[in-house]
Structure formats: C-alpha cells, structure tokens
Amino acid sequence: MTNITVNGKQHQIDADPNMPLLWVIRDIIGLTGTKYGCGVAQCGACVVHLNGEAVRSCVTKLSRVQAQQVVTIEGLSANNDHPVQLAWNEEQVPQCGYCHSGQIMSAAVLLRENPNPNDADIDAGMAGNICRCGTYQRIRKAIHSAAEMQRKGGASK
C-alpha cells in the first residue's frame, strides 16, 4: 500500500510500486486532466508537480511518491484562477488542447522560480513541452501575461 497526497487529499494506493504515477492518477484516482503523450519522458503532456517540481508522471514510479505531495492540473488552483490558467484563457492558447495541462504545470514552475521571465527564459523553461499544434507563440505570450498578472497582484498564487 502506498500513501500519497494528490491535490491535498490523501490516498492509499494498492498497486504495484513500479506503476507509473500517471496510471495511478488517471486510472485509480480518476483525475484525467493529466494526459498520456509519449510514455518515455519526451513530450511533457503528463507533467504534474511532485513537491513543487514539474516531474513527468509517465516515468515516475508510484514508489517515488510515497508520502509525497502531488498536484495535478485539477489541483493547481481552487477556482481555475492560477495566473497561468487565467492567461491561457485570456490568450486562447490551446488548439487541440491535449498538451496543455502539461504546458500549464510547467509554466507554473517557471513563473514561481522566475517571476519576470524574458523570451529566452521561457524558451529554456518550456523546451521540454511539445505542442503538436505549434501554439508556441501563444504559450510564450500567455506566460508573459501571467507574469504581469502576478506582478500586479491579481493572481491567486
């Protein structure tokens, strides 16, 4: 039995410790906002926060998250009002949307560690999240917009 906390709620998971966290989140806990993309840590669609870091849940084993804090896209904010979420909506970033929970989770870490990123910082911080639709320009624009919201104090986090 593995104890994990996902979005503030404790879960006891009866599964193989080698099961990828992504499977646990989607199939056992039932939170399907986090997506399966490549399965080998190459695309970023499955990014969640593990103790605040943007880990790829497809290669993160359940055993690694024993007694740790996991946050998924569903738990990033109480009312979908994290500045990155607000900016994503404002800039209408997604096209198909499949990669965007991962994009948003990565962008949230970027902005926490660098509240005022320039284009190069954004490119460096988001290089691990691939968007098949090619929405990179809007992603960059939304991150600038979210940074501005944070600076103005209009953001919840």
User: Interface with other proteins by CB under 8 A: which residues?
Assistant: 40-42, 47, 53-56, 59-61, 64, 105-107, 109-110, 113-114, 121, 124-129
The residues, ordered by sequence, that sit 6+ positions from 48 with a Cβ below 8 Å of its Cβ are 21, 25, 34, 54, 55, 57, 70, 71, 72, 73, 105
Closest distance between other proteins and the C-beta of residue 65, in Å? Answer: 11
CB nearer other proteins, residue 33 or residue 128: 128
Q: Rounded to an integer, what distance in angstroms lies between the CA atom of residue 71 and that of residue 58? A: 15
Burial class (CB in 10 A: 0-12, 13-18, 19+), 5: middle
CB nearer other proteins, residue 94 or residue 117: 117
Closest distance between other proteins and the C-beta of residue 55, in Å? Answer: 5
Closest distance between other proteins and the C-beta of residue 40, in Å? Answer: 5
CB nearer other proteins, residue 28 or residue 41: 41
